[in-house]
């Protein structure tokens, strides 16, 4: 079997493909001028790059960006909306229950898979400054990356296989990530990294790139969403290297989803069903109504995000009855199928997510992004699998962090396992207020993480401080009035309590 090596800049190949250009119909002169002006600006930036390797990288990324920008202009000119009457609940064939999967699995299938974590995000919202979110300590002094590495290392040791661990970084996270992963040099794991693309932010008024140079400030660029994985894998040369090394599937998930580990039953179904794309779905709750879901659209499986839904149908989209599941963003994809679509079928045309932002100086900008789940429409026999909630354990906030650091879970080979003494499978609902939003404040305000084994709901608002060895049960609401402070003494037991005032 071929040995995998990290992709290099010399392995880059241009991603310039004609992808659906014949279908583009610029209905106004303004749209055509915008496309030409954008192309001129990108060419100017490219002409200033002297290093051939860097120029290849830039050209490949700007080709992908320009294709996205062209499609954005065309869609904006057409102003077509989703036909809501064609949106149906997924059929039974489109969603397979996890409980129906076989248990007797040939573990040799592990040799066919690579594991990829999406590692492009910073921990800014949780107060981590400019560090990658994957560097956040989440349990027993271990970071997201530590836990992922431990899981893969255990898999390799237990089954005597070689599952490579891949990180898709962004220009925001790559430097720090390269330093961090050096500590795994002596571990039983092969770690590969590559970067997703870097696209220029678009001035909303002029429809021109904010950046005037390829080396402009980082704030003028953005990573274009995880749908960029296909271009980035191909352009880096890693797609070909994985296939040459005998890998047939790639398991992709968010680095901050602590429930997304390699599951043999799912792998067995992946191989046996012959699917080219498998999406993990879990049951929707009231907390998940805004999450993307798969639908039956004119007889075809599609991913539907709330941003695509006409305003008058948003409440229908949120319905737990019509759309029972939501997308966890954990997907399994056939590597040969990616290569076929990229090279023989004009590539991927993923639904564009228009993300309106503002620069620090107030300049309104547009970011054009795509999601990996939207690629489901391009693959043969693609479908979803309804997995247990335990496979979706994201840490997006300090409220989530409280759950995963508590006595609700224990750690086994890098995987969080629910405490068997928990009477209910569902995790408690935790809502910590703004005073707990940043990781530094969160850590200061807890003398120790409370015992929440019997907790159903916790809401905390205002200037609240927790002592050590506190137990919370049932529904607990703690509200410190403005200007007041609440200190909960060591050893407190709060059961179905409302605490307010000071």
Q: Predicted confidence band at 25 (pLDDT cuts at 50, 70, 90)?
A: very low
Per-residue pLDDT averaged across 302-325, rounded? 88
For residue 8, pLDDT over 80 is answered with no
Report long-range pairs for 488-496 (Cβ below 8 Å, ≥24 apart): 488/464, 490/447, 491/467, 492/467, 494/470, 495/454
Q: What percent of the chain has pLDDT over 70?
A: 94
For residue 20, pLDDT over 80 is answered with no
Q: Is pLDDT larger for residue 15 or for residue 473?
A: 473
pLDDT in tens, 185-197: 988 899 999 999 9
Q: What is the number of other CB atoms lying within 10 angstroms of the CB of residue 195?
A: 24
Lookup: tokens for 497: 């309590």
Per-residue pLDDT averaged across 359-363, rounded? 92
pLDDT of residue 322: 84
Tell me the β-bridge partners of 385. Answer: 96, 280
HEC string of 13-62 equals CCCCCCCCHHHCCCCCHHHHHHHHHHHHHHHHHHHCCCCHHHHHHHHHHH
pLDDT of residue 32: 85
pLDDT in tens, 455-464: 999 999 999 9
273 contacts 162 by C-beta, under 8 angstroms:
no
Q: Predicted confidence band at 1 (pLDDT cuts at 50, 70, 90)?
A: very low
pLDDT in tens, 63-88: 999 999 999 999 888 877 788 889 99
Which residues have a catalytic role annotated? Answer: 396
pLDDT of residue 188: 87
Q: Residue 224 — φ and ψ, nearest 5°?
A: -85, 35
Query: CA 124 to CA 113: how far, in whole Å?
Result: 32
For residue 15, pLDDT over 50 is answered with no
Q: What global pTM score does this model have?
A: 0.91
For residue 246, pLDDT over 90 is answered with yes
For residue 19, pLDDT over 80 is answered with no
Per-residue pLDDT averaged across 342-368, rounded? 92
């Amino acid at each position: 079997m071929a040995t995998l090596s990290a992709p290099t800049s010399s392995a880059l190949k241009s991603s310039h493909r004609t992808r659906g250009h014949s279908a583009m119909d610029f209905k106004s002169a303004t749209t055509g001028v915008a496309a030409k002006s954008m192309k001129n600006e990108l060419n100017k930036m490219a002409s200033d790059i002297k290093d051939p390797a860097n120029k290849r990288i830039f050209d490949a990324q700007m080709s992908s960006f320009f294709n996205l920008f062209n499609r954005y202009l065309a869609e904006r000119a057409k102003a077509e909306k989703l036909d809501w009457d064609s949106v149906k609940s997924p059929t039974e064939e489109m969603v397979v229950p996890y409980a129906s999967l076989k248990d007797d699995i040939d573990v040799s299938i592990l040799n066919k898979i690579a594991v990829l974590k999406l590692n492009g995000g910073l921990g800014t919202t949780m107060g981590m400054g400019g560090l990658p979110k994957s560097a956040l300590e989440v349990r027993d002094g271990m970071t997201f990356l530590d836990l992922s590495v431990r899981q893969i290392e255990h898999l390799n040791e237990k089954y005597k296989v070689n599952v490579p661990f891949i990180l898709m970084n962004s220009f925001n996270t790559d430097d720090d990530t390269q330093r961090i992963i050096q500590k795994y040099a002596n571990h039983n794991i092969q770690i590969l990294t590559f970067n997703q693309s870097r696209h220029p932010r678009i001035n909303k008024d002029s429809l021109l790139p904010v950046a005037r140079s390829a080396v402009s400030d980082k704030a003028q660029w953005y990573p274009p969403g995880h749908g960029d994985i296909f271009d980035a894998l191909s352009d880096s040369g890693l797609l070909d290297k994985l296939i040459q090394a005998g890998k047939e599937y790639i398991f992709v998930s968010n680095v901050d989803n602590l429930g997304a580990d390699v599951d043999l039953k799912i792998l067995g179904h992946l191989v046996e069903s012959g699917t080219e794309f498998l999406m993990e779905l879990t049951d929707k709750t009231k907390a998940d109504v805004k999450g993307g879901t798969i639908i039956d659209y004119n007889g075809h499986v599609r991913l539907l995000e709330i941003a695509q839904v006409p305003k008058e149908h948003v409440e229908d989209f949120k319905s737990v009855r019509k759309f029972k599941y939501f997308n966890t963003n954990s997907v399994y994809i056939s590597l040969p199928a990616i290569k076929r679509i990229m090279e023989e079928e004009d590539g991927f045309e993923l639904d564009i997510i228009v993300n309106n932002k503002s620069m620090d100086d107030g300049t309104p900008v547009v970011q054009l992004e795509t999601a990996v789940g939207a690629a489901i429409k391009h693959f043969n026999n693609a479908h979803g699998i309804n997995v247990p909630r335990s496979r979706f354990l994201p840490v997006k906030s300090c409220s989530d962090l409280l759950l995963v650091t508590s006595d609700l879970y224990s750690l086994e080979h890098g995987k969080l396992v629910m405490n068997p003494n928990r009477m209910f499978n569902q995790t408690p609902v935790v809502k910590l207020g703004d005073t707990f939003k940043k990781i530094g404040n969160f850590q200061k305000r807890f003398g120790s993480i409370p015992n929440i084994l019997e907790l159903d709901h916790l809401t905390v608002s205002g200037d609240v401080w927790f002592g050590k060895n506190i137990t919370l049960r049932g529904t607990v609401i703690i509200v410190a009035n403005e200007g007041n402070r609440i200190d909960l003494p060591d050893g407190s037991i709060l059961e179905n309590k409302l605490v307010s005032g000071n």
